[in-house]
Chain A
């Protein structure tokens, strides 16, 4: 269950409001509003981002109370523009090697390559051959991909 964390929100007039937000991780986005009447008769709404354990960055703040649709839109906008950490893929180590050794890979242009960690264990003009070579080296599930020529400037449209 999410823990509740009390935060202090300060609006443009330096007026403080306290509220509770769900204790999600850094980078989380949320929307918080207090009911009208609780804060001197004025409603209060904020879109916030939790930057670190105890830091809350207010992305947008509104007084008086905004319509539900406006708050919803603010949250959508904030979420859309928030940087998302990329999801980890299947072969991160191999991808990193491909990123940092693009020049070396050029030697295998127009071939299928089997890459295991940081070593090219097989390469062949057809994928079946590369797979067979990799399996012969004891790799049960090889990572096999095609190295396209960088001199081919045609536009690809699937098939």
Chain B
């Protein structure tokens, strides 16, 4: 049996519509940590890659459109284009992570942290308790 002893516990965020595994993160430019924005991201174990609202690149003075477009498909077949940009994610007490994230061409309401982020940490969910757990190392 595999046993993981988690160091950090987070409560799901209680919003008007329910409780969600949301994490607050800081996104900065890897080459200039002064340019950044704090926001909420939903932990989405079903997402193969992370996808953020492209408008957040405004805070980093980065042009959305580059030569790395990537279609992000939904379960019903529609897709949105995300442009891949390397950014630095900071989670207090957990660490800093450089990650190539897709930033959406269209506005999306929820920033999604997917399995590419899960690959950088150890994460566990306890839905019944509305808690999730994190360790800084995978």
Contact = CB atoms under 8 A, between A and B. Distances in A.
A106 to B, nearest CB: 8
Contacts of A142: 37-38, 59
18 contacts: A87-B9, A126-B107, A127-B53, A127-B107, A131-B37, A141-B38, A141-B59, A143-B38, A144-B39, A144-B56, A148-B15, A150-B16, A153-B17, A158-B42, A158-B112, A159-B51, A159-B74, A159-B75
A1 interface: no
Contacts of B109: 146, 148
Chain A: interface residue count, which band? 35 or more
Interface string B21-57: 0011110100000101111101010110001010110
Interface residues of B, number: 51
Nearest to A127: B55
Interface of B: 3, 5-6, 8-11, 13-17, 23-26, 28, 34, 36-40, 42, 44, 46-47, 51, 53, 55-56, 58-59, 72-75, 80, 90-94, 107-110, 112, 131, 133-134
